[in-house]
Amino acid sequence: MTVITAASGKLGQTLASAFAAKGLAGSVKLAVRSPEKLAAQQAQGFAVVAADYDDPASLKAAFAGEEVAVIISGVGPNEARIAQHHNAIEAAKAAGVKRIVYTSAVNPVATSRFDWAKAHEATEAELKASGIAYTILRDNSYFSNNDPLFANAKASGVLPFTGIAGKVAYISHEDVADAIVGAVTGTGHENKVYELAGSEAWSAIDLAALLSEITGKDIKALDVPVSAFEEQFRAMGLPEFVATGVGSFYAALGAGEYAATSRDVETLAGRPSTSARAYLARFA
C-alpha cells in the first residue's frame, strides 16, 4: 500500500486521478489535513485519513502498515518546511515504511536564487541519511504557475516575466503525477534522483510568440523586476514569506536555473512530458 501526504492540493488530486486511472485507488491512502476535501476520492475507493505535517502522531498513524510514502513537499517558510518534512521522515521510520518518494525541486542548493531551495536541500540530505530507501523527484516549474499571466497576456498583449530570455523546462501536474505513479509502481527506483523537467525549454519570449500563434493575438514578453511580482503578491494579500519566496522563484527561473531539459518524466511515466504547444492550447 502507498500513502500520500499533502494529497488535497493540486498535485495530490492529480496524482489520485492518475492512480485511479490505473485501477489502483484501492491500494492508496490519501493523508490530508481536511479529509472532507476528498469526499470524491473516498467515493472512488481511496482510503482518506487525517494527517498534518505539524502533528507527528497523525503522520505515524497515517503511515502505519504502508510500504511506500509519497511526501509531497509542504508550504511555508524554510524552517517550517524542514521541520514538517523531518516529521514525515521520522514518522516513516517509526512506521517501518520501506521507501519514501519525495517531490523536491530543480537545483535544490542553498546558493539558488530560489529561497525555498534550501528546504529541499535539507530534506534531500535528511532523506539520504535516513536509512530508508528514497526516490527523489526534482520538479521543474509547473506550466500552470503562469496561468494568470497567460490569461492576462491574451487580453492585454503583454506577457510580463522576470528575465524574459531565461529558458525554463516547464512540466504539467499530470507529468509529475504520472511520473510518481511510475516511481511507486515500477522497480529499480530505490535511492535514485530524477529530474522531472520538460524535454524542451521555453523563455517568456518563446512563450509569447507561441501564445501569439495559438491565440491569433499579438503578444510580447515584457521584462519586469522581481519587485513588481512581489508587489502584486502583496496587493493580493498573500503573506510576506510567499511574496518574497515566489518572487525568488521567478528570479531563479529568469536567470536560467530551471533551463535543463530531461527525459526522466518519460522514463518514469512511459510517455513524453507535456509540450508547451499542447499545454497552451487551452488558451486558444
Beta-strand runs (E) in the chain: 2-5, 28-32, 47-50, 68-71, 99-105, 133-139, 158-161, 192-196, 220-223
Question: Contact between 9 and ligand NAP (CB under 6 A)?
Answer: yes
Q: Which three cell numbers stand for residue 149?
A: 499571466
Q: Which of 41, 73, 248, 274 binds ligand NAP (CB under 6 A)?
A: 73
Check residue 86 for interaction with ligand NAP (CB under 6 A).
no
User: Applying CB under 6 A, which of residues 24, 61, 64, 75 lies at the interface with ligand NAP?
Assistant: 75
d(CA 175, CA 123): 22
To ligand NAP, the closest distance from the beta carbon of 160 in angstroms equals 18
Stretch near ligand NAP under the rule CB under 6 A, chosen from 26-34, 42-50, 127-135, 272-280: 26-34
CB 47 within 8 A of CB 16: no
Among 26, 36, 43, 54, binds ligand NAP (CB under 6 A): 54
Shortest separation between residue 196's beta carbon and ligand NAP, angstroms: 9
Of 23, 271, 273, 66, give the one whose Cα is nearest residue 169.
Answer: 273
What are the CA-CA distances from residue 116 to residues 99, 157, 214, 242 (Å)?
24, 32, 34, 10
At 87, give phi and psi (nearest 5°): -55, -40
| Strand-pair partners of 262 | none
Burial class (CB in 10 A: 0-12, 13-18, 19+), 1: exposed
**Which positions ≥6 away from 6 have C-beta within 8 Å?**
12, 32, 53, 71, 72, 73, 74
What residues numbered 137-156 form the site for ligand NAP, per CB under 6 A?
Answer: 139, 141-142, 145
- Say which residues have a Cβ less than 8 Å from residue 40's Cβ, sequence separation at least 6: none
Which range touches ligand NAP (CB under 6 A), out of 51-59, 91-99, 182-190, 276-284?
51-59
Asked if 182 and 270 touch (Cβ cutoff 8 Å), the reply is: yes
By CB under 6 A, tell whether 74 contacts ligand NAP: yes
* Cβ nearer to ligand NAP, comparing 53 with 229: 53
Kindly tell me which of 157 and 242 has the beta carbon lying closer to ligand NAP: 242
Q: Which string of x and - marks every residue 97-136 that binds ligand NAP (by CB under 6 A)?
A: ------x-x-------------------------------
Is there binding between residue 8 and ligand NAP (CB under 6 A)?
yes
Choice between 12 and 163, CB closer to ligand NAP:
12
What minimum distance in Å lies between the beta carbon of 207 and ligand NAP? 15
> Roughly how many angstroms between the first and final C-alpha of the chain, as a whole number?
41
Q: What is the total count of residues that contact ligand NAP (CB under 6 A)? A: 24
Among 72, 89, 164, 208, binds ligand NAP (CB under 6 A): 72
Binding site for ligand NAP (CB under 6 A): 6, 8-12, 32-34, 37, 52-54, 72-75, 84, 103, 105, 139, 141-142, 145
